[in-house]
A and B are shown apart, each in its own frame.
Chain A
């Protein structure tokens, strides 16, 4: 269990990618103590074939995060069963992830919050550096990367990113990273299933959103103040 909990190689890689150059010298005790090679077999680490952007470490981070945000309960299946990880992967591989419709010329300045997004990073680059930095920060605080944290630690760490309390050394601001991830999780949960998320229209079913069929000329009066329950219809259902 203990060995499983921390993958030294992955940690070092993420730490460097996150820009925390001194990370190797500041390994947390628990990580150093463990020392030995990881016991996971390469087969277990190989990426699920469906990811086109996320590498295995990144996929593990996103899977853990979406399952924490959207746990399985009476309202819906869990995040990975809804395809939220897949939604994010596809978004990052798409034009959006590569910075479509984003002004990418410098000079780059942090600016003030009222000036909006000012990082020199496309969404894909923000995820890549953000996940690496988050795993490095987790390693420093908890001695293991994010996907190996227990639920209480995950919760604490996510709250820390949300408020900006967690510091990504040399990386993008944790708050900006988390705001993007959070927005994307919501898009995956409540957007059309053709983008890879909202599998089985479970997000729509959870709230009672009827989907794309919307001919309500008469319904607007007929259902005024009354519950309108239908099986939701997605774009691919009609295509």
Chain B
């Protein structure tokens, strides 16, 4: 029997980026907040110290900071005619499993998504006509605007110590930044990171080809910094161990060193670690939830935590899983296209070329998570005519290094043997003398890409695993083909000694190797309860005291990394709860 605990104002499931932001904001607003976090607490001063933290086997290969598929995982299939099988080991995406969440071991690339995404259907229909959009492409407008989010983007960038260069200040194009970005009220809190040779070479080539290169904005502090809440960041050391590692220099934007310690000092806040939420409890009579059921994973004890407000902040895929397990809202059915929970799961696509330059030295072990010079000419640039290539969405291209450690990164020209002296000779020769150009491409929602509960497989709590049905569609293949061509043309213009060209992905999406932890959708936001799970304040249409926070609310996926809008929406939701909901509980729209 679960022990029923004393009611609190707010219970938060998951204490990563979004949970941390909401915990701090709501505790400061005077609400009694409890956070349930399935993982433990690891602190930079004890757990991310040199030399132990510089361990590729522990953190990259054996996933020390990441979710444990022995306890919970998903089943995977590419289409509805396949039998889904469990993702038995981590691969394509690596969500976090400790206080701070994925935001402990992310890279920090921080973008502002624009109205091109938020008004995706109306913009494409207006420009290219209704017929341009394939029938099974279930993209829809988000019901929010860039102007509404702009101050919240700024807030998140300041909290997370984002280094970058504005390209559009209040409508004025500023040299050095991204000319295609939406207008910003203010500069980035920190200047850009120091560029690497690969970035400089890419910048020159991109400019010579008529593109508009700029330093990618990243939550890697380019110099020591104190954020507006008083959290202190050190300067990034370009240590080459960013993605998948905790930061020893406290230079990477993270809830663990910013919002979470501030919340923890507040007497209104209580953190319970090793507390695994299994269900959101519903009030059968009313359109509200009553709390959260959870298990202490250290001893198996079960609890019910009643609360006036429930916030799901457990990372995109886990939020959707909890909604399905709790039976809140109608589960989506791709055949009838009825229901909303599980709908519009999206991912991203990618490709890269490796350029070998005899005699150059790239020092692949010296870089920040955000060491990336990027072009946005095929994404945020709305002038770019997609109809020539026949797709919706786009891609960004970059010359970059990020965590190029030697087990995972050993470039050799195609055709090199996989072992033996010849392999060693090539590995030794090219490790320091190669660079990459990569792209990240958007994925538009499709009727048949979705989540539901698996009929067969169960997790360590005896609950059904969530089933992911996903594949790239012709739209994404076309993006990949165009992007590969752009990359290869750029690469050739740089005259490398050898080139391993970029190849567009045309085969099925696979669960290995790592691609990105940019899973989106499943409980999407919108203006109509028939086609969305939450409203613009991330409030459930089916339970007004339940807010579902994270990239799970994105109706489709952009080419950009997700955490800029994830963080901004967390602040936006915090304001809506503090200033509107608490005063007058009920649907805000």
CB within 8 A of A228: which of B196, B200, B361? B361
Q: Is the CB of B410 within 8 A of A216?
A: no
CB within 8 A of B55: which of A69, A73, A192? A192
Q: B511 contacts which chain A residues (CB < 8 A)?
A: 114-116
Given A70-B424, A207-B428, A235-B54, A113-B238 contact (CB < 8 Å): no
Q: How far is the CB of B244 from chain A (nearest CB, A)?
A: 14
Q: Is the CB of B196 within 8 A of A118?
A: no
Q: How far is the CB of A225 from chain B (nearest CB, A)?
A: 5
Residue with the highest number of chain B CB atoms closer than 10 Å, among A75, A101, A102, A237: A101
Which of A54-62, A129-137, A183-191 is found at the contact surface with chain B?
A183-191
Q: Is the CB of A227 within 8 A of B428?
A: no
Q: Is the CB of B62 within 8 A of A96?
A: yes
Q: How far is the CB of B55 from chain A (nearest CB, A)?
A: 6
Q: A118 contacts which chain B residues (CB < 8 A)?
A: 85, 88
Q: Is the CB of B197 within 8 A of A209?
A: no
Q: Is the CB of A115 within 8 A of B85?
A: yes
Interface residues of B in 459-513 (CB under 8 A from A): 507-512
Q: How many residue pairs, one in A and one in B, have C-beta atoms under 8 Å apart?
A: 181
CA distance A235 to B200 in the complex (A): 32
Q: B428 contacts which chain A residues (CB < 8 A)?
A: 75, 206-208
Q: Is the CB of A117 within 8 A of B361?
A: no
Q: A73 contacts which chain B residues (CB < 8 A)?
A: 421, 424
Q: Is the CB of B407 within 8 A of A228?
A: no
Interface string of A75-88 (1 = CB under 8 A from B): 11000000000000
CB within 8 A of B235: which of A182, A203, A217, A225? A217
Interface string of B421-458 (1 = CB under 8 A from A): 10011011001100000000000000000000000111
Q: Is the CB of B194 within 8 A of A190?
A: no
Q: How far is the CB of B113 from chain A (nearest CB, A)?
A: 29
Q: Is A215 an interface residue (CB 8 A)?
A: yes
Q: How far is the CB of B449 from chain A (nearest CB, A)?
A: 14
Q: Is the CB of A227 within 8 A of B361?
A: yes
Q: Is A28 an interface residue (CB 8 A)?
A: no
Q: Is the CB of A116 within 8 A of B419?
A: no
Interface residues of A in 189-236 (CB under 8 A from B): 190-192, 195, 203-204, 206-217, 219-221, 223-228, 233-235
Q: Is the CB of B237 within 8 A of A217?
A: yes
Q: Is B63 an interface residue (CB 8 A)?
A: yes
Q: Is B260 an interface residue (CB 8 A)?
A: no
Q: How far is the CB of B420 from chain A (nearest CB, A)?
A: 6
Q: Is B70 an interface residue (CB 8 A)?
A: yes
Q: Is the CB of A206 within 8 A of B424?
A: yes
CA distance A125 to B428 in the complex (A): 34
Residue with the highest number of chain A CB atoms closer than 10 Å, among B57, B89, B90, B91: B57
CB within 8 A of B238: which of A96, A212, A220? A220
CA distance A209 to B241 in the complex (A): 13
CA distance A226 to B346 in the complex (A): 42
Q: Is B350 an interface residue (CB 8 A)?
A: no
CA distance A112 to B76 in the complex (A): 10
Q: B516 contacts which chain A residues (CB < 8 A)?
A: none
CB within 8 A of B418: which of A162, A214, A216, A237? A162
Q: Is B373 an interface residue (CB 8 A)?
A: no
CA distance A71 to B425 in the complex (A): 12
CB within 8 A of B427: which of A96, A162, A207, A234? A207
Q: Is the CB of B55 within 8 A of A235?
A: yes
Residue with the highest number of chain A CB atoms closer than 10 Å, among B85, B197, B238: B85
Q: Is A104 an interface residue (CB 8 A)?
A: yes
Least CB separation from B66: chain A residue: A101
Q: Is the CB of A111 within 8 A of B56?
A: no
Q: Is the CB of B85 within 8 A of A111?
A: yes
Q: Is the CB of A212 within 8 A of B197?
A: no
CB within 8 A of A76: which of B197, B405, B424, B456? B424
Q: B83 contacts which chain A residues (CB < 8 A)?
A: 109, 111
Q: Is the CB of B458 within 8 A of A215?
A: no
Least CB separation from A239: chain B residue: B51
Q: Is the CB of A192 within 8 A of B70?
A: no
Interface residues of B in 83-116 (CB under 8 A from A): 83, 85-91
CB within 8 A of B70: which of A101, A208, A225, A235? A101
CA distance A98 to B87 in the complex (A): 18
Interface string of B29-63 (1 = CB under 8 A from A): 00000000000000000000011101111000111
CA distance A239 to B238 in the complex (A): 22
Least CB separation from B72: chain A residue: A103
Q: Is B588 an interface residue (CB 8 A)?
A: no
CB within 8 A of A103: which of B86, B91, B367, B425? B86
CA distance A213 to B82 in the complex (A): 48
Q: A210 contacts which chain B residues (CB < 8 A)?
A: 365
Q: Is A105 an interface residue (CB 8 A)?
A: yes
CA distance A112 to B81 in the complex (A): 12
CA distance A212 to B48 in the complex (A): 13
Least CB separation from B406: chain A residue: A190
Q: Is the CB of B361 within 8 A of A102?
A: no
CA distance A105 to B85 in the complex (A): 11
CA distance A220 to B371 in the complex (A): 11
Q: Is the CB of A105 within 8 A of B457?
A: yes
Q: Is the CB of B91 within 8 A of A116?
A: yes
Q: Is A13 an interface residue (CB 8 A)?
A: no
Q: Is the CB of A191 within 8 A of B363?
A: no
Q: How far is the CB of B60 from chain A (nearest CB, A)?
A: 9
CA distance A103 to B71 in the complex (A): 7
CA distance A220 to B367 in the complex (A): 8
CA distance A99 to B69 in the complex (A): 11
CA distance A70 to B85 in the complex (A): 36
Q: Is the CB of A216 within 8 A of B431?
A: no
Least CB separation from A107: chain B residue: B456
Q: Is the CB of B56 within 8 A of A192?
A: yes
Q: Is the CB of B61 within 8 A of A101?
A: no
Given A111-B85, A190-B407, A208-B421 contact (CB < 8 Å): no
Q: A217 contacts which chain B residues (CB < 8 A)?
A: 235-238
**15 A-B contact pairs sorted by A residue (CB < 8 Å):** A68-B419, A70-B424, A96-B62, A101-B62, A101-B63, A102-B89, A113-B510, A115-B87, A191-B61, A195-B57, A207-B432, A208-B428, A217-B235, A219-B366, A223-B361
Name A's B-contacting residues (CB within 8 A).
68-71, 73, 75-76, 96, 99-105, 107, 109, 111-118, 158, 162, 182, 185-187, 190-192, 195, 203-204, 206-217, 219-221, 223-228, 233-235, 237-239
Name B's A-contacting residues (CB within 8 A).
50-52, 54-57, 61-63, 68-70, 73, 76-78, 82-83, 85-91, 194, 196-197, 200, 235-241, 360-361, 363, 365-367, 405-407, 410, 418-421, 424-425, 427-428, 431-432, 456-458, 507-512
Knowing that A101-B90, A182-B419, A239-B51 touch, tell me 15 more A-B residue pairs with CB under 8 angstroms.
Answer: A68-B420, A69-B420, A73-B421, A102-B89, A104-B88, A114-B76, A114-B78, A115-B87, A116-B88, A116-B91, A207-B428, A208-B428, A212-B54, A217-B236, A235-B55
